[in-house]
Structure 1
Amino acid sequence: MEESLQIQRLEEAPSARNFESRIESTNFPAVFNGCVKDWKAFSKWNPSNGGLDYLQERVGLCVVEAMLSSSAPVFYGDLRSHERVPLPFSAFIGLCKQRMRHSEDGSGVCFESEQRALLEPVSEYDRKPYEDATQQIYLAQVPIINTENEERVQLESLREDIQMPVFLEDKVLASTNLWMNNAQARSSTHYDPHHNLLCIVSGCKQVVLWPPSASAMLYPMPIYGEASNHSSVPLENPDFSNYPRAQCLMEYSQKVILHAGDALFIPEGWFHQVDSDDLTIAVNFWWQSNIVSNMSEHMDAYYLRIILRRLTDKEMNRVLPKSSLAEMENKKKHTCVVLNNGGVDQNDNDLDQACERKDLKGKELEQRTMSHELEPLAIHALHELVSLVHHCVNAAELRRPVQSTSTTDSAASVKDEFTKVVRANSFSLEDDPVAKIIWALQPCTFRNVFLAMVKNFPRTLEALILHLLSPVGAEVFTCKFEEMDQQITEEDRNRFYQVFYGAFDDQFAAMDAILNGKELFALQAYKNVLDKYLGVDWGGPKPGV
């Protein structure tokens, strides 16, 4: 990512005012070194300094909800990948102590019999599933404070050991939670619907972050699912044939290492993956952002339409990138080389022969009178367009039964031939040679090419628009119309469109063909948006994704 977008590390905690104006408002992560070293928890919870005994005494036999996952050390957020099980907090502390002892004497992890002894049944907790999977247990999001649901609070007795950072003093917190693991653990890639301050009390965590704009590469779970804020890309050995966009995932990521005492601000919507070392203890604060809290519910439908429209426009712009001036100059030089080598000239035999061929309605094409005012690039583009159309027309006529004289059959045959040149459901510029030729033209050249086509090849133009225009081709046409309109006078605009549409027997059919194609292009862009950002699968391949 750009240097200006690098996650900053601050040695001193900001004031509440500076945090809100300079950090939170940017929706960009920040690390606060040593931010929580003055907490009681920082010294009293430290496992190397009797912290486990303190926690066991403080919390006692309180039962907490633990995450149990068969995929450990990776813990996926999908409910199908883990289960929540009740666990006496003292039993989990016992596991941590046992692991520390074996780690210190070099004997490795606990023996199975020792593990089971630590989880000896306590009344109704007899033979619970975690007894045979002690390294698959993770205390994730155990509530210390929960203003939204006070009944869920399980560790309120730890509240006085932590204190809210000064820069959050004006925030209305949704919850404060404990995160604790007795073995190495990795959380699946996900985002939170709240702003998050992750504070490391003991141990070390590595956090990889992606901005919301990179969510397409992360293949978010379907918006209607219970794990909609999680990525569907597996953390272990992802199959890039199923997730092709994920191949460039790390190019959009940033990585931070958090040590005991550090805190990380993770803005809402930022995807993050967290790796925790053995026996790591952390506390996090969640609060609602100003943006979300200030959104009026009765405006939701409008905001939804605005955002979907903006993402759809962005997807359409991705498919049709603007050519730089340098690229345009290179195209001109290439065309001049082609012309000088005799590839195209005003006496081109192919064009002469094309003028003698029959059009879709069996009429003779008008004799070509090429304007000497056309620049080389325009001549080259005109030649390529006419050749493509005539290739499809001639191939279609060869395939059509001799006895058939139907105009409908002829048009259908041309469409069939064009699908051999243009890939089905063409959404990509690279898949459509007609759109690619037109997209490379400057507005003035575009205007001259199609005025020349109107004058010399009107039936070719009609075949191009009515039968050979793909969705991306229609979008290209309207884009070029808009660019041209900005550079010429109103009088010239009116004259151009009068001449252009006057070449068609049915002007409204030509307009419909362009507008219908443009809407199909936008529809495919919209489907891509739903797939990329909402995980909604419309079925079938996603062109240009």
Structure 2
Amino acid sequence: MEESLQIQRLEEAPSARDFESRIESTNVPAVFNGCVKDWKAFSKWNPSNGGLDYLQERVGLCVVEAMLSSSAPVFYGDLRSHERVPLPFSAFIGLCKQRMRHSEDGSGACFESEQRGLLEPVSEYDREPYEDAPQQIYLAQVPIMNTENEERVQLESLREDIQTPVFLEDKVLASTNLWMNNAQARSSTHYDPHHNLLCIVSGCKQVVLWPPSASAMLYPMPIYGEASNHSSIPLENPDFSNYPRAQCLMEYSQKVILHAGDALFIPEGWFHQVDSDDLTIAVNFWWRSNIVSNMSEHMDAYYLRIILRRLTDKEMNRVLPKSSLAEMENKKKHTCVVLNNGGVDQNDNDLDQACERKDLKGKELEQRTMSHELEPLAIHALHELVSLVHHRVNAAELRQPVQSTSTTDSAASVKDEFTKVVRANSFSLEDDPVAKIIWALQPCTFRNVFLAMVKNFPRTLEALILHLLSPVGAEVLTCKFEEMDQQITEEDRNRFYQVFYGAFDDQFAAMDAILNGKELFALQAYKNVLDKYLGVDWGGPKPGV
């Protein structure tokens, strides 16, 4: 977990100004120890101190909307996994009292150790079902105040028992809600579209949080669905064969335990899973962030394109991680040792034979001198590339004339030949030997290798680009072009590309092959982004996921 994303713990509540500048603006969670202990609710609502009778007297006649789920104690946010049912608040109080009578400790169990999971029973009673299954009922998000829909407010009379924390006094609150459970409960992993301050009035909650950057590992529900802010992974028993990215999920998580009087700031977009002990009561405040509030609606389409482009670039960079200078030097030293132990001579002999068979028929021996002048690493890479082409492209494909893709028929012909040799969805660097060889080359070595191919093996180079270059190979090739361009003069750049493309019978066919492959690579990265962050399955296999 990045240090900048570490959750803060504060012993004193900050001022409104400090909260906005030091905490809210960073979009990182924070715990405020004991910041709601001065609430009237803190003493009046405590079940072990007559709190249930107090609530019965205040709001017992109210009818609230309760969450009923057969998957309890886990309550999933998906509408298909639960139903909302009207319930007299007095009936729920009765269930809480029934729970207390069967509990050894009237205050309920607490998370004394982070090692004890929610689903582990704490007494013999926890293993027995209630009559009429009351453990399947959870009061979730019951409005005490709601500026967007005042008609939904069911417990407005409880507002006088709570007070807005001083650091939220300047905020325009969207809603204040009651959360109450009689038995242990777990909410499914989700994020909120608002900033959230979760305040524990009584009992204990354990909250596990993940930053928005970890959402790909949480497999969010489809963006077009009714539960788009929820993870599709059942974290109590994840199937890693179906959710392979989730295997390292806990490495990006942070866990906090909140006791009565504590509050937790959960920024918008942070995924969280909440475990509640028996008879836990909480109140939360939601408000819109400054970022969302200041977003102009007419700019939404632009922001969408910018964010998708940035995530696509990030996905492309994930597939092609840049090696450090130390790694490159070690690789170079290792290769040189191998070559100096006899590899150069053998490779050179093989290379000569390949040249004589394919590229150098009828040419003078002097035309091969350039390959002998290369450094050992370049000779090794050159030999591997030539060998791959000769093994992967059969003689008939090499002899077939290549035409420009400027017409529909010729474009189809080139595409057909391309897909004969290379899988159209090749996306992984590890699965593409051509891309791996090119990716490992330093810019200067890369330049020398391809100039040697132009001079000594022009038909092999043509076959490599037109027949053997996969999408990831095309991306690697253009990345190396860019690295090389930064290290040579404009005159040398122009000369290189003139020589490189001059080796092809049809320069436009070569350019099209490289650009088409590069765009296919970006398209696959874009598909992965839709799947990882929006839960949208494009269909078909998703290589490199």
3-state DSSP of counterpart to 1:116: coil
- Contact 1:355/1:367 (CA < 8 Å) preserved in 2? no
Counterpart position of 1:89: 89
Write the mapping of 1:126-141 to structure 2, written as runs, cut at 5 A.
132-141=132-141
Paired with 2:72 and 2:168, the residues of 1 have a C-alpha distance of 34
Going from structure 1 to structure 2, the CA distance change for 1:2 and 1:407 (only over 3 Å counts) comes to: closer
- What's the TM-score once normalised by structure 1's chain length? 0.90
- Contact 1:45/1:201 (CA < 8 Å) preserved in 2? yes
- Contact 2:470/2:517 (CA < 8 Å) preserved in 1? yes
Going from structure 1 to structure 2, the CA distance change for 1:115 and 1:293 (only over 3 Å counts) comes to: closer
Moved more, 441-450 or 214-223: 441-450
Paired with 1:327 and 1:118, the residues of 2 have a C-alpha distance of 45
Q: CA deviation at 1:234?
A: 1.1
Going from structure 1 to structure 2, the CA distance change for 1:525 and 1:114 (only over 3 Å counts) comes to: closer
Q: CA deviation at 1:122?
A: 33
Paired with 1:331 and 1:504, the residues of 2 have a C-alpha distance of 32
Q: Any unmatched runs of 5+ in structure 2?
A: none
Paired with 2:44 and 2:87, the residues of 1 have a C-alpha distance of 23
Going from structure 1 to structure 2, the CA distance change for 1:120 and 1:20 (only over 3 Å counts) comes to: closer
Q: CA deviation at 1:21?
A: 0.3
Counterpart position of 2:234: 234
Going from structure 1 to structure 2, the CA distance change for 1:114 and 1:137 (only over 3 Å counts) comes to: farther
Going from structure 1 to structure 2, the CA distance change for 1:132 and 1:396 (only over 3 Å counts) comes to: farther
Q: CA deviation at 1:236?
A: 2.8
Paired with 2:331 and 2:117, the residues of 1 have a C-alpha distance of 77
- 1:436-474 per-residue CA deviation (whole Å, 9 max, x = no partner) reads 100111111111110111000000000001111100000
Going from structure 1 to structure 2, the CA distance change for 1:242 and 1:420 (only over 3 Å counts) comes to: farther
Going from structure 1 to structure 2, the CA distance change for 1:121 and 1:11 (only over 3 Å counts) comes to: closer
Moved more, 204-213 or 345-354: 345-354
- 1:291-325 per-residue CA deviation (whole Å, 9 max, x = no partner) reads 00000000000000000000000000000001111
Paired with 2:487 and 2:118, the residues of 1 have a C-alpha distance of 80
Paired with 1:25 and 1:13, the residues of 2 have a C-alpha distance of 16
What is the percent sequence identity of the aligned residues? Answer: 98
Paired with 2:302 and 2:384, the residues of 1 have a C-alpha distance of 45
Paired with 1:327 and 1:32, the residues of 2 have a C-alpha distance of 45
Counterpart position of 1:385: 385
Going from structure 1 to structure 2, the CA distance change for 1:10 and 1:106 (only over 3 Å counts) comes to: closer
- Contact 1:98/1:110 (CA < 8 Å) preserved in 2? no
Counterpart position of 2:466: 466
- Contact 2:421/2:467 (CA < 8 Å) preserved in 1? no
Q: CA deviation at 1:340?
A: 1.6
Paired with 1:491 and 1:17, the residues of 2 have a C-alpha distance of 57
Going from structure 1 to structure 2, the CA distance change for 1:362 and 1:215 (only over 3 Å counts) comes to: farther
- 1:379-401 per-residue CA deviation (whole Å, 9 max, x = no partner) reads 11111101100111347679999
3-state DSSP of counterpart to 2:328: helix
Moved more, 67-76 or 362-371: 362-371
Q: CA deviation at 1:101?
A: 1.4
Paired with 2:287 and 2:346, the residues of 1 have a C-alpha distance of 70
Paired with 1:57 and 1:536, the residues of 2 have a C-alpha distance of 49
Moved more, 325-334 or 399-408: 399-408
- Contact 1:485/1:493 (CA < 8 Å) preserved in 2? yes
Going from structure 1 to structure 2, the CA distance change for 1:405 and 1:475 (only over 3 Å counts) comes to: closer
Paired with 1:195 and 1:107, the residues of 2 have a C-alpha distance of 30
- 1:67-94 per-residue CA deviation (whole Å, 9 max, x = no partner) reads 0000000000000000000000000001
Paired with 1:137 and 1:126, the residues of 2 have a C-alpha distance of 15
Write the mapping of 1:466-485 to structure 2, written as runs, cut at 5 A.
466-485=466-485
- 1:186-207 per-residue CA deviation (whole Å, 9 max, x = no partner) reads 0000000000000000000000
Going from structure 1 to structure 2, the CA distance change for 1:43 and 1:502 (only over 3 Å counts) comes to: same
- Contact 1:195/1:265 (CA < 8 Å) preserved in 2? yes
Q: CA deviation at 1:341?
A: 2.0
Going from structure 1 to structure 2, the CA distance change for 1:300 and 1:93 (only over 3 Å counts) comes to: same
Going from structure 1 to structure 2, the CA distance change for 1:429 and 1:103 (only over 3 Å counts) comes to: same
- 1:86-118 per-residue CA deviation (whole Å, 9 max, x = no partner) reads 000000001101110121389999999999999
Counterpart position of 1:188: 188
Paired with 1:418 and 1:462, the residues of 2 have a C-alpha distance of 12
- Contact 1:360/1:463 (CA < 8 Å) preserved in 2? no
3-state DSSP of counterpart to 1:108: coil
Q: CA deviation at 1:47?
A: 0.5
- Contact 2:219/2:232 (CA < 8 Å) preserved in 1? yes
- Contact 2:100/2:108 (CA < 8 Å) preserved in 1? no
- Contact 1:360/1:393 (CA < 8 Å) preserved in 2? no
Q: CA deviation at 1:376?
A: 1.3
Moved more, 442-451 or 218-227: 442-451
- Contact 2:207/2:272 (CA < 8 Å) preserved in 1? yes
- Contact 1:434/1:473 (CA < 8 Å) preserved in 2? yes
Paired with 2:39 and 2:484, the residues of 1 have a C-alpha distance of 65
CA-based RMSD: 6.5
- Contact 2:110/2:203 (CA < 8 Å) preserved in 1? no
Going from structure 1 to structure 2, the CA distance change for 1:453 and 1:100 (only over 3 Å counts) comes to: same
Paired with 1:107 and 1:196, the residues of 2 have a C-alpha distance of 26
Q: CA deviation at 1:127?
A: 25
Give yes or no for the alignment of 1:376 onto 2:372: no
Q: CA deviation at 1:345?
A: 3.2
- Contact 1:30/1:265 (CA < 8 Å) preserved in 2? yes
Q: CA deviation at 1:337?
A: 1.7
Q: CA deviation at 1:371?
A: 4.0
- Contact 1:355/1:366 (CA < 8 Å) preserved in 2? no
Paired with 1:119 and 1:419, the residues of 2 have a C-alpha distance of 52
Q: CA deviation at 1:285?
A: 0.2
Going from structure 1 to structure 2, the CA distance change for 1:296 and 1:58 (only over 3 Å counts) comes to: same
Going from structure 1 to structure 2, the CA distance change for 1:89 and 1:220 (only over 3 Å counts) comes to: same
Q: CA deviation at 1:333?
A: 1.3
Q: CA deviation at 1:353?
A: 1.7
- Contact 1:312/1:526 (CA < 8 Å) preserved in 2? yes
3-state DSSP of counterpart to 1:64: strand
Paired with 1:111 and 1:20, the residues of 2 have a C-alpha distance of 31
Going from structure 1 to structure 2, the CA distance change for 1:162 and 1:522 (only over 3 Å counts) comes to: same
Q: CA deviation at 1:357?
A: 2.3
Q: CA deviation at 1:130?
A: 11
- 1:351-382 per-residue CA deviation (whole Å, 9 max, x = no partner) reads 12211224799999996333444111111111
Moved more, 380-389 or 103-112: 103-112
- 1:500-532 per-residue CA deviation (whole Å, 9 max, x = no partner) reads 000011111111110111000000000000000
Paired with 1:343 and 1:30, the residues of 2 have a C-alpha distance of 59
Moved more, 336-345 or 168-177: 336-345
Paired with 1:444 and 1:419, the residues of 2 have a C-alpha distance of 31
- 1:327-347 per-residue CA deviation (whole Å, 9 max, x = no partner) reads 111111121122122123387
Q: CA deviation at 1:349?
A: 2.4
3-state DSSP of counterpart to 1:109: coil
Q: CA deviation at 1:407?
A: 17
Q: CA deviation at 1:169?
A: 0.4
Going from structure 1 to structure 2, the CA distance change for 1:303 and 1:105 (only over 3 Å counts) comes to: closer
Going from structure 1 to structure 2, the CA distance change for 1:122 and 1:209 (only over 3 Å counts) comes to: closer
Paired with 2:380 and 2:227, the residues of 1 have a C-alpha distance of 54
- Contact 2:405/2:414 (CA < 8 Å) preserved in 1? no
3-state DSSP of counterpart to 1:72: coil
Going from structure 1 to structure 2, the CA distance change for 1:199 and 1:408 (only over 3 Å counts) comes to: closer
- Contact 2:378/2:448 (CA < 8 Å) preserved in 1? yes
- Contact 2:107/2:279 (CA < 8 Å) preserved in 1? no
3-state DSSP of counterpart to 1:157: helix
- Contact 1:116/1:132 (CA < 8 Å) preserved in 2? no
- Contact 2:218/2:232 (CA < 8 Å) preserved in 1? yes
3-state DSSP of counterpart to 2:64: strand
- Contact 1:411/1:467 (CA < 8 Å) preserved in 2? no
